[in-house]
Amino acid sequence: MGKRVGSFFLFLTLILTSALWGSEEAGKVISFQGKAQVFNPGANEWKELKVNQKIFPAEVLKTGKNSNLKILLKDNSTVILQSESKLTIKRVSILLDKAYRDVLLNLEKGMARFKISRGYAKNSRFEVVTPLTQIRVEKTDFTVRVISESQTRVGVREGSLNLRLKNFDLTLNTGDALILKEEMGKIILDVLGGDVEVGLKGVVIRVGEGESISIDSTGRVEVIRGEIDVYFAGKHYTFGEGESFYPEELYLGVRVPTGEGAASPATP
């Protein structure tokens, strides 16, 4: 009798665990080439992935050399993980009768393309985290490459996205691409394409293709390459290669604007 009762409760526990686990399904595997594996923290081991296999929060996906993996998340967004890459599924939730989503992915290494689905509320959250930055997106097609823990490349194919760093934000739109590097306590922005907007302490900085700047922890901006446009309180400033400034200098009127009353872009 005792064995039967014990077996019944074990069976019931397995059913409930399976039901809870299944309700948290994050998506499934669409296709892959080469070697693609999944790490399940509960099982504590790497296993080979299969087409149509379900994936769950907390699982880690990785690809081998000359391999790729395509997954479909349950919000209908797709992620294509390129060769020798690793992605952790932190959270994928659909709430309020499918009107709101809350997605958090962590690209630890390698490169991935993200095609974000439409049809969700504007305040929904879809975020991709790398060792260097946090990327928040909506209805966007973009790529991220983690070159190293201190270097990340981001490019936007269609749409727009917001990058959050320690003390400033970046806004990228269709065609924009840049490399972020952390060196000696500074963040260096190398703009590869387009026209990137930096939001720093109420100041808007426009950095164009081929231009490069650095920003340190105090907010000091230095122009490494090119000539940048800076906007604050309806005034336009320009700074050339080798020049630097603090946002506070614009607040206090220490810097002379290039043009009074110049149209200022919207602050991110």
Closest CA to 49 of 65, 64, 66, 61: 61
Q: Is residue 53 over pLDDT 50?
A: yes
Mean pLDDT of the chain: 88
- Give the residue-averaged pLDDT of 12-36: 68
* Cα gap 204→196, rounded to integer Å: 10
Hey, CA dihedral for 177, 183, 187, 188, is it positive or negative? Answer: negative
pTM of the model: 0.84
For residues 89 and 57, is the Cβ–Cβ distance under 8 A? yes
Q: How far is CA 9 from CA 5, 21, 22, 43, 67, in A?
A: 6, 18, 20, 22, 43
Per-residue confidence (pLDDT) for residue 21, from 0 to 100: 38
For 57-66, how does the pLDDT look when each residue is reduced to its tens digit (9 = 90+)? 999 999 999 9
Per-residue confidence (pLDDT) for residue 17, from 0 to 100: 34
Q: pLDDT > 90: what percent of the chain?
A: 75
10 Å CB burial of residue 16 (0-12, 13-18, 19+) is exposed
For 68-125, how does the pLDDT look when each residue is reduced to its tens digit (9 = 90+)? 999 999 999 999 999 999 999 999 998 867 678 999 999 999 999 999 998 888 778 9
For residues 55 and 69, is the Cβ–Cβ distance under 8 A? no
Give the domains, in start order, of the chain with CATH numbers: 24-129 (no CATH), 139-268 (2.60.120)
The rounded radius of gyration (Å) of the Cα atoms in the chain is 23
10 Å CB burial of residue 130 (0-12, 13-18, 19+) is buried
Per-residue confidence (pLDDT) for residue 264, from 0 to 100: 44
For residue 267, give the amino acid letter: T
DSSP lists the bridge partners of residue 33 as: 68
For 258-267, how does the pLDDT look when each residue is reduced to its tens digit (9 = 90+)? 765 444 444 4
For residue 127, give the amino acid letter: E
For residues 112 and 129, is the Cβ–Cβ distance under 8 A? no
According to DSSP, the β-strands at 100-115 and 125-129 are parallel
Q: What is the DSSP string of 47-99?
A: EE--TT-EE-TT-EEEE-TT-EEEEEETTS-EEEE-TT-EEEEEEEEEETTTT
Q: Is residue 16 over pLDDT 70?
A: no
For 121-168, how does the pLDDT look when each residue is reduced to its tens digit (9 = 90+)? 877 899 999 999 999 998 899 999 999 999 999 999 999 999 999 899
